[in-house]
Structures are given as C-alpha cells and as structure tokens.
A and B are shown apart, each in its own frame.
Chain A
Amino acid sequence: MADIINFTIDGKECVAEKGTLILQAAQENDIYIPTLCNYEGVKPQGSCRICTIKTNGQFVTACTTPVADGMEIENNTEEINDLRKSIIELLFVEGNHFCPACEMSGDCELQALAYRFQMMVPRFTFQFPKREIDARNPKILMDSNRCIRCKRCIRAIKDEKERSIFAFHGRGRNIEVHIDPDLGSKLTDELAERSVTICPVGAILPREKGFRTPIGQRKFDHEPIGSEYKY
C-alpha cells in the first residue's frame, strides 16, 4: 500500500500519498491553488509562479514540489495572494490585453484570476509592446499581444510523431510563440480545437468562429475561477 502522509494547508489537516505534488494534494483535499502555466495531463514546468505557496519560510511552486510528511503550507494568505496578484498585474502590463475587444473575454484564465484577486488596476506601468498577429494558418489565428508565454501549447500540442506544432521564437522579452509552417498547415480540426482550449488566454483563436459564447454563459461570468474547490 502507498505511503500516506499528513500535512497542513493554512492550518487545515490534509492527507496525501507520498510523492504527490502539492498542487494535486491540495486539490484532493478540496483546496484551491491558482495555476496558469500548469495543465492537467501535461508535465508541469513551474514557470508562471502563480501557484506559489510558502512552506518552511520559503516560496515554492505547488505544481512542481512534492508534498512531504509534516509539511506546513501557507496558501490563502494576504502575503501570498498579493504576490499572485502582482504576477497577474505584470502579465497584464507586459502584453496588450484589451479585454473589451477580446474574443476570449469571459473564458480567459488570466482575466478570471484578475477577477478572483480583484485587480482594479495593475500597479506597474503599461508597456504597450509591439506584437504581431499571425493569420496565415487556415484554422487558427495567433495573437501574440495576448500570449503569456506559458508554453502550454508547445508542451501539449504534438502531431502523431510527437513533434511540437508550436515553438518559441526569439529571446527574452521579445520571445514569441510561432506555429511551425509545415506542421501547422497540416493541423487537424481536432488539434486546432485543442490548441484553442489549451491556451489559457486569447492568443490562439479559432478562425471563422468569433465570439462563440454569449455574455452571461461564459465560463467565468458568474463564479470565480477555482469555485469547484471548497476552500
């Protein structure tokens, strides 16, 4: 039988199997930890830092750190939530997020996190970078104004030979996600749909199907992201 370990999150007694990642262990105990770069079924990479928690005085990412016996985890505290909020704010000023004109508005995870953490205005200066829209692919449209470089598309969307259809191009703050022209041209309907779903924001959009869900019926219209968890 697997080893069962005990730990606490914000003082609440929790149990998990040894080796479980903190994020999953929290979810199994009905506790919400926000995520952005993480996607169920895709190997975690710990890059966005939204899932940051505190244990033993250290900040660590819950999506990549395994839970340990006796661990005392701080999650839903003012300090950590403000840290998370600051990351969301950074993402908003670092790209061009014109939510009123965005097709993903209402279904976007970044926006939903901003709602959950009550971002009224980012504390940082807006950058308004020059970014491109790539409309060459017949099935999807890439709008890098809204890309948060989470790499979910690169990590999850592969062809039948396990080759990534999306890739990073450039370096540093100018990095952009591009579609491989060759593999992209052979994108199946199914993979196109999946890449739209896998992108947490409105950076990958389906063509010829704008604003599919009416306001009021979108994912985050009525309930905050993470509402499926009790705590």
Chain B
Amino acid sequence: MSKPVIATATLAGCFGCHMSILDIDEKILDLIELVEFNKSPIDDIKNFTKKCDIGLIEGGCCNSENVHVLKDFRKNCNTLISLGECAIMGGLPACRNPIPIKECLEEAYLNGPSVKGHNESGIIPNDDEIPMMLDKVYPCHEIVKIDYFLPGCPPSAELIWNALTALITGNEMELPYEVIKFD
C-alpha cells in the first residue's frame, strides 16, 4: 500500500502551527516513515504533483491569494483540516475585522504614527501584483468545506500527532482534556 500523502499551507498565520507540527520531536521520524509530504513549506514543494489524502491549513483568509490557495487545497486534498485558531476563527489577524478595511489601510499607510509624514504622495499600495486584501479575515470553513478542526494557538504537537495517526490508521482519535486548548 502506498503511503498517505500530506500537504500543508500557511495562509494568514504566523507559521506557529507549522512549528508545532515539527514540535512532535523524534516522532517526526515516525511520521516520515508513515506518510509522504507533497505541497508544503516543510519540503518546499510549490505545486501539487498528485492528489493528497490530508491537507493541513494554518491561518485564515485575509487576501485573494489565501482564497486561491485554500480552494486549490480543497480541490487536491481528500480531507482538509483547519489547524489552529487563525484557520478556525481568523485569530489575531481578525482583530481588524470590526474595523472597516478603508480605515485599516489608511491607518497602516497614511495616518499611523510610524508612517505619518513619510508617505507624502499618500499612496496606498494597489498594484495588480499584490494580492487584494479582503474586507475582513475569514475563517477557512467560511470559504470552503473543512472536515476537521484542531484548535490551539498553536495546537499542541500531541493534538496534531493524535489527529494524524487517527486519520492514517482509521482509529478513533484520542482527545485527553489537556490537548484541547485555545491558547
């Protein structure tokens, strides 16, 4: 039997969830025995080269590029998992959500204390090359269907390990009290 294939991505996240994947310590050796990685920042494969079994998504969607990547993952992964608070509920990037996008951009480029007086032409970057910011940061499951959610900031290595092994072996997932945390 061929090994299950895993892909991972960071959208509007801080890479902390990916750090937590690596935080399974020496079990990472077991993991590479058990699975094969495809598109992921871990192995730097940029494009899907085959259909994957499991996709792990860190971060919510704050711009058009995030939406594009997320939809690509949905298309190429049988099981898609929201990994961490940002993917699940927007996380810290979503702190901007109650504020209108226009106000956010003006604060960042025109009025904020570190830019005021330094942006004389009053330009807010708006090049076609730059992904378009969304009106707010969206949790992944508000953009595509997500199959499982692993909370935490970051999710503990144990939670990630338990989830992956349960998915791979088809056994029920172990969920001891201490592994579900939102912080």
A→B interface (CB under 8 Å) = 92, 96-102, 105-106, 111, 114-115, 118, 120-122, 125-126, 128-131, 215, 221-224
Per-residue A-contact encoding for B162-180, CB less than 8 Å = 1, 0 else? 0000000000000101101
B81 CB, min distance to chain A CBs, angstroms? 10
* Residues of B122-172 contacting chain A, CB below 8 A: 136, 139, 141-142, 146, 148-151, 153
Given A98-B92, A100-B92, A120-B150, check contact A128 B136 (CB 8 Å).
Answer: yes
Contact A105 B177 (CB under 8 A): no
A interface SS class: loop
Q: A99-B182, A128-B136 are in contact. Are A121 and B88 (CB under 8 A)?
A: yes
B34 lies within 8 A of chain A by Cβ: no
A9 to nearest B CB, angstroms? Answer: 23
Question: How many angstroms from the CA of A28 to the CA of B182 in the assembled complex?
Answer: 32
Contact-residue bracket for chain B: 20 to 34
**Whole-angstrom distance between the Cβ of B176 and the nearest chain A Cβ:** 10
Let me know if B98 is at the binding interface, CB within 8 A: yes
List chain B residues, Cβ under 8 A from A215: 183
Contacts A115-B181, A121-B146 known; list 11 others, CB within 8 Å: A96-B97, A96-B98, A102-B183, A105-B182, A106-B183, A111-B182, A114-B182, A122-B89, A125-B142, A126-B139, A130-B98
Task: Give which listed residue, A92, A121, A223, contacts B149 with CB less than 8 A.
Answer: A121
Contacts of A121 in B (CB 8 A): 82, 88-89, 139, 141, 146, 149, 151
